[in-house]
Structure formats: structure tokens, C-alpha cells
Amino acid sequence: MKPGTLTIEAYNIANGDYETYTVEIGASKLTAITVGKDLQDNGKNLVANPYNNEEGIVAVLKANPEGAALKAADVKFDVKPGKGLTKEDITVTAEEITVGKGDDAKKHIVVKATTKKAGTYTVTPFVGEAIDAEKVAKGTAIEVKTTLNPVVESFEIEPVKENEVNVNGTVTKALTFKNKHGEEIKVDKSKVTVKSSDDDVATAVAEDKEGNATIKLTGKAEGDVTVTVVAGKVSKQLTRVD
């Protein structure tokens, strides 16, 4: 039963008289927080680990027992960062959001997280003075694991000097990829293409010992050539490589 005002009408079957009684029902005492990982909206789960530097919903909170008072503003978090990370590297908040439209709209308390450094953080929600206080209402730990956004926003090609690519000689050039946050990311060679404007230079995509894509240029004949490298929706050209 939810807290609020309950109106009861008692009827006398014999004479048709009735009396109305009003009862105030108080909220149950919050004893724990139920942590969920599923919040559907049009068939999509809104709960997922976000990319680094991007905010995401990492959990849904419900009062335990059901009907107890739980407000987003009262929720605090105990944060345990992983190796090489600090508490300052993550921002965690509890917010009330509405999911759905019209008669299907419902309010939910969610946990949102944003990290400054990719990695694994353990976050435990609680209501009270401290996580280890007596009779504190808390939930199970939430693992927040962020990675770098893998979508290439830009990349640089290691410079090729004039006449560096000799006939029958091969040079390997590094590629430095960055996402929209300016973070260096590793890109598999299968995600990169390279082609030459003519047959004077043969091209190939390889990878370094860390698994990052590189390009190989092999001279076949003298002449100026334009080499085009494409990664995702981004392309870049080298000119006069032979």
C-alpha cells in the first residue's frame, strides 16, 4: 500500500446510511535500496556502461520495501576506484527521470556516471550519514566500467619525407587516431583502407606490436603519388611520397 490519504465508506445495508472515514497512511521506513540494471524505453535498455567523458545511466534505484520514501536528492555514493584511478576521476549522481509518454509515463530514480579516466569503479548507493553507519539503507555495489569511444574523429599520419619511398624500398608509417574527445584510440587494421593514385607506389595496411593500424608504402617506379588513407568517415592524403 502506498503512503497517502485513504478514504473508507461504511454502508448500513439495512437502512442505506453510511459513514465516511479518512485514514492517513504513512510511508514505510526505508531499509535498503534495490539496484536494477534494466530500464526499457521503446525496446531499448537505457542502462549501459558509458564511454569515458560521456554521461550514461548505470543503474536504476527502487525503495525497499516498496512504498518507502526514496528521493534522488537523499542518495549518496561510496566510490572505490580501480587501480590507477581516484575518486575525483568519476562523477556520480542520482536523478529522477521520466520514461515513456502520456499514460505510460513513469518516474524512475537512476544513477548517472561520467568518468575522466577510463577504467573500473565500484559505486555503492546509500541513504544515511555514512556507508558504514548503523541501520543505513544501502544497495548492492554497481560496477561502472568505461572505455574510450572507439569512433575515429581525426587521425595523423607519420610524415613521409621527400624521396623517402625509393623504388623497391618499403617504409612503414604510424597512424595516430583520436576520438571526439581528443583521446588517442587504437584502431584495428581491418577498419583502415589505403590506396595510391597510381601504380608507382604499392600500399598496404599493417599493424604495430600494440595492434594499432599502420600503413606500408612500397616504391615501384619514380614519380609523384597521392596516397589516401581512410578510417571510418575520416580520410587524409599524402602527396609526393616517391
- pLDDT > 70: what percent of the chain? 90
Q: Which of 119, 146, 173 is the last residue of a domain?
A: 146
CATH number at residue 142: 2.60.40
pLDDT, the chain, mean: 91
Kindly state whether residues 140 and 36 are assigned to the same domain.
yes
Q: Which of 81, 228, 185 is nearest to 237 (CA)?
A: 228
Kindly state whether residues 124 and 160 are assigned to the same domain.
no
For the stretch 66-123, pLDDT in tens is: 989 999 999 999 999 999 999 999 999 999 999 998 888 999 999 999 999 999 999 9
**For residues 19-39, average pLDDT:** 79
Domain assignment present for residue 84? The answer is yes
Kindly state whether residues 55 and 133 are assigned to the same domain.
yes
For the stretch 181-221, pLDDT in tens is: 999 999 999 999 999 998 889 999 999 999 999 999 999 99
Kindly state whether residues 161 and 132 are assigned to the same domain.
no
Q: Is 48 helix (H, G, I), strand (E, B) or coil?
A: coil
Domain assignment present for residue 76? The answer is yes
For the chain, what is the domain count? 2
Burial (Cβ within 10 Å: 0-12, 13-18, ≥19) of residue 57:
buried
Write out the residue range of the structural domain in which residue 88 sits.
32-146
pTM: 0.81
Kindly state whether residues 160 and 93 are assigned to the same domain.
no
